[in-house]
Amino acid sequence: LNRRLAEFGTTIFAEMSALAAATGSINLGQGFPDTDGPEEIREAAVRALRDGRGNQYPPGPGVPELRTAVAEHQLRFHGLSFDPDTEVLVTAGATEAIAAALLALVEPGDEVIALEPYYDSYAACIAMAGGRRVPVTLRPVDGVYRLDLDELRDAVTDRTRLILLNTPHNPTGAVLGREQLAAIAELAVERDLLIVSDEVYEHLVFDGEHLPIASLPGMRERVVTIGSAGKTFSFTGWKVGWITAAPALVSAVRSAKQYLTYVSAGPFQYAVAEALRLPTAYFDGLRDELRAKRDLLSTGLADAGFAVYRPAGTYFVTTDIRPLGESDGFAFCRSLPERCGVVAIPNAVFYDHREQGAPFVRFAFCKREEVLRDAVARLGALS
Ligand code: PMP
Ligand code: GLN
């Protein structure tokens, strides 16, 4: 393994899902739903397979049906208009979109600012691109994770190339508001920065609303927005994602993407095109269901003695284990399956400043209600 990747090892998600399987624990670690997405969309995938749509290499930028559906979706939900031919690119999940964007836009030695705690692939992809990551830490203030705009401004140097944003934010559940996004947009213009905005949880906002930074003035030429069918339609195994951006940025990201995977799974692209056209009631229903699950798990964790940072979005809740008399999230997560049959993720893995993340532990609530109730009962017996 080369020096760029040596520090990364096995992802925490693989490690913790393996631990859940080996111990028969309830897996609230890796974020994937335990109920598959809509039947009609699964049928659409089967139809595409049977009809021979997408069984051979689809077009590099993605099938036209999906690019059009992505553009229509951005217009319906966010009032943003994109040209499906020049401003949309289909990727193998958001993961490839992140990798391709960083490989295409970062020069070796460039600094990339990421909100810490950050999703684990950001650090590895910045490293693969030869960039230097500069974390700006979100900190809990009055029970809510906040971005300190002064810290963000101070983190920008003459070497800063881009800001890697994520809202709604994994793992904290924070949703950046209009004022904060406007300040970030202003900073990007002032310092001539690009923004890569990971918005895979755009439909999972329970309090407030999701605002794409691409919709703010001056951002059209600077922002690459990333989406994914995994979260919105509960098909994390399909690995269909996309970016929307100005033509020059899409063209740059496509240059990298074509040598990573060339194209991604054809029949699923047709099915996701149908999914993106589902009535608004589908998206509202998913959010309402998850809001109830957020409340169930957050209340259960608080009753079990955790300090809970109630997430405004995503399907994760971050907790502080210090009220339980514990301080090391890694040790806690490694012992939890044996102690009570539940798996969670230590947030420290999402930090450069590991000590800052040490007491925080993330639980996923994209699970059936009875599973969450069982988990809450088990965690309640911890003490
Ligand atoms: N970004 C964030 C913030 C995520 O949480 C995830 C999935 N957990 C991804 C990207 C990856 O998405 P995909 O499965 O579409 O590759
Ligand atoms: N994004 C999911 C999470 O944060 C897992 C993705 C993965 O396993 N790489 O839990």
* All domains of the chain in start order, with CATH: 12-30+281-380 (3.90.1150.10), 44-276 (3.40.640.10)
CA of 132 to the centre of ligand 2 (A): 23
Consecutive H or E run containing 67: helix 64-78
| Cα distances (Å, whole numbers) of residue 178 to 138, 175, 236 | 17, 10, 29
The CB of 30 under 6 Å from ligand 2? The reply is yes
Strand partners, 295: none
Report how far residue 371's alpha carbon sits from residue 293's, in angstroms, rounded to the nearest whole number. 10
pLDDT above 80 (res 383)? no
Cα-based distances in Å from 191 to 156, 194, 236, 346 = 8, 9, 36, 35
Tell me: the pLDDT tens digits for 285-343? 999 999 999 999 999 999 999 999 999 999 999 999 999 999 999 999 999 999 999 99
Considering the entire predicted model, what is its pTM? Answer: 0.97
The helix/strand/coil state of 105 is helix
Q: Is the CB of 170 under 6 A from ligand 2?
A: yes
Question: 124-153 pLDDT, tens per residue?
Answer: 999 999 999 999 999 999 989 999 999 999
Report the residue among 30, 119, 226 best suited for mutation to probe ligand 2: largest number of ligand atoms under 8 A from its CB.
30
